[in-house]
């Protein structure tokens, strides 16, 4: 079975590499010529652990190719995945222009039966729109005889562990309306379905909704814990103790209940917004999700407010050392990163930032360019030089065991603002450092 994948972003590229590694012949199509040229030259355009080796091995074995030639790729792949972006439109809805453009391209160039699989995160009803777009173009071509089907196969990989998630998925959601397509996709995923049956077959609408419901419940967990953390600060409790206390209940569990400075990335913010918008479009008020989003916007400011209070509102002319730019560890992705909100608020207040991130500095340079109030430091501890305070925004491993003695000796004010609660207030206190975290300031 030959596979074609449209979109070589985090999802398309990783899934392509993993399929190729399982032995499939995979053709990746992207409209971004520079990206395709880099991929052809053996470069890895994103940081994702394990991806480089997979790309190299499978490109060398000629199982994985990259092209901008959509017609040739459509002729080659019996199963065609759509894995292009679905960013938020101005009103919060998912912008489907890229998905529908691919659908039209497929219909323009297909000459034999095809299964089109929507892997991008798309609102309920989108696969029906993809189907209608294909039908429209085939009709215009006078090729209504060509058989095709549209399936939904949402992706659940996590940036930072995308290769592992794709290789050993927790579940494989397949939404189909035709049994034969379900069977074909079941066969396609067989190499990833050996240990036990991870395939959950359902109708297309339910598959589309499953992806949103999953991201929305994860975002809800985060916003809930952030709300509890804010309350803990006021009430004098330590949210880290509370977290351990509640996580011990198996109905709650320890996963994904870390308080912090808000969720970011390319998925949670846009998917929560899109779900709210979908609900609105059918006259339903998604009250819980609206609160989840509001809480998250407040949370992204929370550390800045603590910093402002500590310095009595006088931030102009100060310099802040910042550890972490990516929205989470193990990725170079800065889309909707809380660190961006924090930096922008500090700049607005007239402060300067000296930042370090193990992987996201190139991306930071791309986003912000050269500016007087931003210095990107190659070494972790260089951010401390001339800084008034240290801020931790992303919990990279490299930041977990800092040299507190050096921090105390270098900072103008002995204070750390820990946006991820990775430092122990008692340890920081031993070194004479003030520590402000999330929901545990009474413990400082
Ligand atoms: P991305 O922005 O990293 O990549 C999208 C790629 O699609 C880009 O390289 C772009 O040039 C290409 N593209 C756009 N139009 C095209 C066209 N007509 N033909 C060929 N290529 C085209 O996006 P991503 O992060 O990989 O996300 C893709 C989808 O998967 C989104 O719907 C997203 O919500 C979903 N998703 C993302 C993640 C994640 O962690 N990033 C996880 C699960 C699901």
Q: Give the tens place of pLDDT for each residue, 430-442.
A: 999 999 999 998 7
Predicted pLDDT of residue 443: 56
Cα–ligand 1 centroid distance for 123 (angstroms): 15
Asked if the structure places residue 78 within a domain, the reply is yes
In a shared domain, residues 257 and 302: yes
Atom 1 of ligand 1: nearest residue by CA position: 9
Q: SS3 letters for the chain?
A: CEEEEECCCHHHHHHHHHHHHCCCEEEEECCCHHHHHHHHCCCCCCCCCCHHHHHHHHHHCCCEEEECCHHHHHHHCCEEEECCCCCECCCCCECCHHHHHHHHHHHHHCCCCEEEEECCCCCCCHHHHHHHHHHHHHHHHCCCCCCEEEEECCCCCCCCCHHHHHHCCCCEEEECCCHHHHHHHHHHCHHHCCCCCCEEEECHHHHHHHHHHHHHHHHHHHHHHHHHHHHHHHHCCCHHHHHHHHHCCCCCCCCCCCCCCCCCCCCHHHHHHHHHHHHHHCCCCCHHHHHHHHHHHHHHHHHHHHHHHHCCCCCCCCEEEEECCCCCCCCCCCCCCHHHHHHHHHHHCCCEEEEECCCCHHHHHHHHCCCCCEEECCCHHHHHCCCCEEEECCCCHHHCCCCHHHHHHHCCCCEEEECCCCCCHHHHHHCCCEEECCCCHHHC
Taking only the tens of pLDDT, the chain with its 444 residues reads: 899 999 999 999 999 999 999 999 999 999 999 999 999 999 999 999 999 999 999 999 999 999 999 999 999 999 999 999 999 998 989 999 999 999 999 999 999 999 999 999 999 999 999 999 999 999 999 999 999 999 999 999 999 999 999 999 999 999 999 999 999 999 999 999 999 999 999 999 999 999 999 999 999 999 999 999 999 999 999 999 999 999 999 999 999 999 999 999 989 999 999 999 999 999 999 999 999 999 999 999 999 999 999 999 999 999 999 999 999 999 999 999 999 999 999 999 999 999 999 999 999 999 999 999 999 999 999 999 999 999 999 999 999 999 999 999 999 999 999 999 999 999 999 999 999 999 998 755
In a shared domain, residues 249 and 188: no
- Residue 199's contacts (CB-CB under 8 Å, 6 or more residues apart) are 171, 172, 174, 186, 189, 193
In a shared domain, residues 222 and 186: no
In a shared domain, residues 185 and 273: no
Asked if the structure places residue 226 within a domain, the reply is yes
The CATH number linked to 361 is 3.40.50.720
Predicted pLDDT of residue 1: 85
In a shared domain, residues 166 and 272: no
Asked if the structure places residue 296 within a domain, the reply is yes
Pick out the residues of the known binding site for NAD(+): 30, 35, 86, 121, 159, 270, 335
Number of domains in the chain: 2
Asked if the structure places residue 187 within a domain, the reply is yes
Asked if the structure places residue 87 within a domain, the reply is yes
Domain that holds residue 137: 2-202
- Domain end (from 202, 235, 253): 202
Pick out the residues of the known binding site: 30, 35, 86, 121, 156-159, 211, 256-260, 264, 270, 328, 335
What ipTM was estimated for this complex? 0.99
Asked if the structure places residue 135 within a domain, the reply is yes
Asked if the structure places residue 390 within a domain, the reply is yes
pTM: 0.94
Predicted pLDDT of residue 6: 98
Predicted pLDDT of residue 444: 54
In a shared domain, residues 312 and 243: yes
Model confidence pLDDT, tens digit, residues 33-69 = 999 999 999 999 999 999 999 999 999 999 999 999 9
In a shared domain, residues 242 and 175: no
Asked if the structure places residue 210 within a domain, the reply is no
In a shared domain, residues 192 and 98: yes
In a shared domain, residues 165 and 279: no
Predicted pLDDT of residue 94: 92
267 flagged as catalytic: yes
417 pocket-lining for ligand 1 (C-beta < 6 Å): no
In a shared domain, residues 296 and 185: no
In a shared domain, residues 194 and 235: no
Task: Exactly one of 216, 267, 364, 377 is catalytic; name it.
Answer: 267
Predicted pLDDT of residue 149: 98
Cα–ligand 1 centroid distance for 289 (angstroms): 24
8 pocket-lining for ligand 1 (C-beta < 6 Å): yes
Q: 371 vs 88, 220, 358, 380, 406, CA distance in Å?
A: 28, 36, 20, 20, 28
């Amino acid at each position: 079975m030959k596979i074609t994948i449209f979109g070589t972003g985090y999802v398309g590229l990783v899934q392509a590499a993993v399929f190729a590694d399982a032995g499939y012949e995979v053709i990746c199509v992207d409209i971004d010529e520079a990206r395709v040229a880099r991929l052809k030259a053996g470069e890895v355009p994103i940081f994702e652990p394990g991806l480089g080796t997979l790309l190299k091995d499978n490109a060398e074995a000629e199982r994985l190719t990259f092209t901008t030639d959509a017609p040739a790729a459509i002729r080659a792949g019996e199963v065609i995945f759509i894995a292009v972006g679905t960013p938020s439109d101005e009103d919060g809805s998912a912008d489907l222009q890229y998905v529908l453009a691919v659908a039209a391209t497929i219909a323009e160039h297909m000459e034999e039966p095809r299964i089109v699989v929507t892997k991008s995160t798309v609102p309920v009803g989108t696969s029906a729109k993809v189907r209608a777009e294909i039908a429209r173009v085939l009709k215009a071509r006078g090729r209504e005889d060509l058989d095709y089907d549209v399936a939904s196969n949402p992706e659940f990989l996590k940036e930072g562990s995308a290769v592992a998630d794709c290789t050993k998925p927790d579940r494989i959601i397949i939404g189909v309306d035709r049994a034969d397509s379900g069977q074909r996709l079941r066969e396609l995923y067989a190499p990833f379905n050996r240990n036990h049956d991870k395939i959950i077959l359902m109708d297309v609408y339910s598959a589309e909704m499953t992806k949103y419901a999953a991201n929305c419940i994860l975002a809800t967990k985060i916003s809930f814990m952030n709300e509890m953390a804010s309350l803990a600060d006021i009430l004098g409790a330590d949210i880290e103790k509370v977290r351990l206390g509640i996580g011990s209940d198996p109905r709650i569990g320890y996963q994904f209940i870390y308080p912090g400075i808000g969720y970011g990335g390319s998925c949670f913010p846009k998917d929560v917004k899109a779900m709210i918008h979908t609900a609105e479009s059918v006259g339903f008020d998604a009250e819980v999700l609206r609160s989840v989003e509001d809480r998250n916007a407040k949370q992204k400011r929370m550390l800045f407010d603590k910093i402002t209070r500590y310095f009595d509102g006088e931030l102009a002319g100060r310099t802040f050392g910042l550890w972490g730019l990516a929205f989470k560890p193990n990725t170079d992705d800065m889309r909707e990163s809380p660190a961006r909100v924090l930096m922008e608020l500090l700049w607005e207040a007239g402060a300067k930032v000296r930042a370090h991130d193990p992987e996201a500095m190139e991306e930071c340079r791309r986003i912000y360019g050269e500016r007087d109030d931003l210095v990107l430091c190659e070494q972790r501890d260089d951010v401390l030089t001339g800084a008034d305070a240290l801020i931790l925004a992303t919990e990279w491993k490299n930041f977990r065991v800092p040299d507190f003695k050096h921090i105390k000796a270098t900072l103008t004010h002995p204070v750390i603002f820990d946006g991820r609660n990775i430092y122990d207030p008692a340890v920081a206190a031993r070194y004479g450092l003030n520590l402000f975290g999330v929901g545990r300031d009474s413990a400082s």
